[in-house]
Amino acid sequence: MKTKSTVFSIVAVAILLVAAYSGIAQSGGNVAVVVNPANPIDNITAADLHKIYAGDKSSWGGGLIVAAFVRTAPSHERDVLLKAIMKMTDSQYQEAWVKKIYSGAAAHEPLALPSNSMQLEAVRSQKGGIAFIAASEVKDGVKVIKVDGVAPGGAGYSLK
Amino acid sequence: MKRIVATSLVVLAMAIGALAQSAQPADQTETVKALLKEVTELKARLAAVEAKLAEPAAAPAAAPAMTFTPETSSFVRGIKFQGFGEVGYKANDNPFGQSPAFGFSEGSNGNFATGDFDLFMTSRINDKTSVLAEIVFEAADAQSFNVNMARALLKYDANDYLKMSFGRYHTATSFFNQNFHSGKWLQTPTDRPLVVQFAAKGGMLPTQAIGASITGKIPSGKLGLNYIFEYGTSDTVRPDINSRTVATTDESNGNGTTLGLFAKPDFLPGLEVGGSFYHDRLNPTDTGLHIGQSIYSAHLMYLTPRFEFINEGFVIQHAVDNARTYHTPAFYSLISYNVSGKWRPYFMYQYANANVNRVVLDDIGLRHGPSAGVRYDFNSYVAAKFQYDRAMRRNPLPTINSATTQLAFRF
């Protein structure tokens, strides 16, 4: 009787864990790339996103300086950036920036912000601003751009 | 204000009362109506004044709205410090012992050394202007240290096509010199290959200069071409790497020019192919000679978080008084692979062949040999390295075997 109860408890806990994990996994969703409305671009390639967040591209057309923002860890937006665009781990990303700045090839790394609301405000206030924000949390004052010609939620959208 | 209005109302009420008692009945109705209307208006004004007075104290008119501006944010203002350090033990079988130029005790066949202690700092002035500085405490003989302002640059990045730096810089004569600088944690092997070693430690190139450096992209689509131009004054003082004492040669360089071109194609991120040309004139102290120095270099490298493949080749040409010309070929090749996130075995081969009868680099002679080692990263800040080197030299100089352990860190 006791064994049966224990097994039942284990199964129940396992089901709860699976459910919880599923909830976490589903909490991600599409991540939008947003820029300041003053920025004329409407589309960006994944290769250019990689260059921006690797420090190899520091200006938009017309001399507008890129002001890149990134969520602090842990966050879904940061995970998407690292996995889908940078293809590296968080520590590899941080080490790459240490090397980049140390070599003098870039003046500073993307500013890490702890919330999407801060990212939104940062992009609103910076003409060259760009950030990864959960599509469901995008608000007025920023412009969502396509990635490789696909808008968030579109077929084949890679940032999720 | 409130008191005045209240007093007025009281006076008016008293007046109304008095009038009501003393005036003739025919006039009373009209008068009372007029006074009541006035009282009503005054009450309304009083209510407005009271409402205004009841409002919270207004913010000072000059106070600006609080908005996020990275230029003024505490996240990025001020000076950002980073540091790199190392401590190691090196043993070798050189009959003359270790050269004192590398931070090891003169003549020793095995001792500890701290190597370079590197303080690196950056500061943003605005979104296009910044300052970069690197101060290195270099280990010299017998635990003495020299302070070296390795880099001090005022940088202005107009856009991706024009980035300018003014001050003391590491020359673009080699990829290694431009990317790894003094922080041993950043590089895989325990030390630089000899040809790209800092000149003050026996390297063969003018590694530092003061002047202007301009770099940027060249519109070239997916080819990813970049240029670099430098004009500055180098002052190379090299030790004799075979000497047990700190014998040096001051090359008394004139102004040097560097032109470089490299490609980072989009189709293979991590790949870089390029080359550079450097020229200056040397006037080695006490020789009375004038030497035209031209350095041709080419590099091919492929870097990913896991894989590292760096190759650089050089031809160093010295034209002595336009009468004799010497060519010194040199190269190194480094390959490493991160097998588990922490362990990175690596292999390097290096070669240099300088004519021993020449005025400069005569101590180099023929040197070539392999290095093999492994790097272990405890975390993102501390790494341990174990390296074996074998340097074969032209007869009659004996081959040197050495083993190095190094703890490299950043903070």
Q: What is the CATH number of the domain that holds B88?
A: 2.40.160.10
- Same structural domain, B151 and B13: no
Does the interface predicted TM-score (ipTM) exceed 0.85? no
DSSP letter string over B6-60?
HHHHHHHHHHHHHHHHHS-HHHHHHHHHHHHHHHHHHHHHHHHHHHHHHSPPPPP
Question: Residue A10 pLDDT more than 70?
Answer: no
Domain boundary among B17, B38, B54: B54
Asked if residue B62 belongs to a domain, the reply is no
Question: Residue A87 pLDDT more than 60?
Answer: yes
- Same structural domain, B288 and B346: yes
CB contact under 8 A, B127 and A103: no
CB contact under 8 A, A47 and B186: no
Q: Which residues of A touch B120 (CB under 8 A)?
A: 102
A/B interface, count of CB pairs below 8 Å? 78
pLDDT band at A1 (very low <50, low <70, confident <90, very high): very low
Q: Which residues of B touch A121 (CB under 8 A)?
A: 67-68
The residue of chain A with its CA nearest to that of B128 is A65
Query: Cis omega (within 30 of 0) on the bond before A74?
Result: yes
- Same structural domain, B153 and B113: yes
Query: Cis omega (within 30 of 0) on the bond before B100?
Result: no
Question: Residue B358 pLDDT more than 80?
Answer: no
pLDDT digits (tens, 9 = 90+) for B138-152: 887 777 889 999 999
Query: How far does B355 lie from chain A, in Å, by closest CA?
Result: 33
Asked if residue B70 belongs to a domain, the reply is no
The residue of chain A with its CA nearest to that of B76 is A111
Query: How far does A151 lie from chain B, in Å, by closest CA?
Result: 23
- pLDDT recorded at residue A22: 41
Which of B253, B328, B331, B258 shows the shortest CA–CA distance to B292?
B253
- pLDDT recorded at residue B385: 98
Asked if residue B257 belongs to a domain, the reply is yes
- pLDDT recorded at residue B37: 72
- Same structural domain, B30 and B127: no
- pLDDT recorded at residue B112: 87
pLDDT band at B42 (very low <50, low <70, confident <90, very high): confident
The residue of chain A with its CA nearest to that of B214 is A105
- pLDDT recorded at residue B69: 55
pLDDT digits (tens, 9 = 90+) for B266-296: 999 899 999 999 999 998 887 888 999 999 9
Question: Residue B331 pLDDT more than 60?
Answer: yes
The residue of chain B with its CA nearest to that of A122 is B68
Lowest-confidence pick of B138-147, B361-370, B401-410: B138-147
How many structural domains does chain B have? 2
- Same structural domain, B36 and B120: no
- Same structural domain, B386 and B288: yes
- pLDDT recorded at residue A61: 82
Helices (H) and strands (E) in chain A, counts: 5, 6
Average pLDDT over residues B114-126: 92
**Percent above pLDDT 90 for chain A:** 73
Average pLDDT over residues B43-70: 55
Average pLDDT over residues B311-332: 94
The residue of chain B with its CA nearest to that of A124 is B68
| Structural domain harbouring B382 | 80-410
DSSP letter string over B120-162?
EEEEESSSSEEEEEEEEEEE-GGG-EEEEEEEEEEEEEEETTE
- Same structural domain, B17 and B146: no
Q: Which residues of B touch A82 (CB under 8 A)?
A: none
Lowest-confidence pick of A38-47, B61-70, B161-170, B227-236: B61-70
CB contact under 8 A, B67 and A121: yes
Q: Which fold has domain A29-147?
A: D-Maltodextrin-Binding Protein; domain 2 (3.40.190)
| Single pTM value for the model | 0.77
Query: How far does A130 lie from chain B, in Å, by closest CA?
Result: 13
Residues B355, B393: Cα–Cα separation, whole Å: 13
List the beta bridge partners of residue B112: B89
Asked if residue B65 belongs to a domain, the reply is no
Backbone angles phi, psi at B161, to 5 degrees: -100, -10
Query: How far does B267 lie from chain A, in Å, by closest CA?
Result: 9
A30 in Cβ contact with A160 (< 8 Å): yes
CB contact under 8 A, A59 and B160: yes
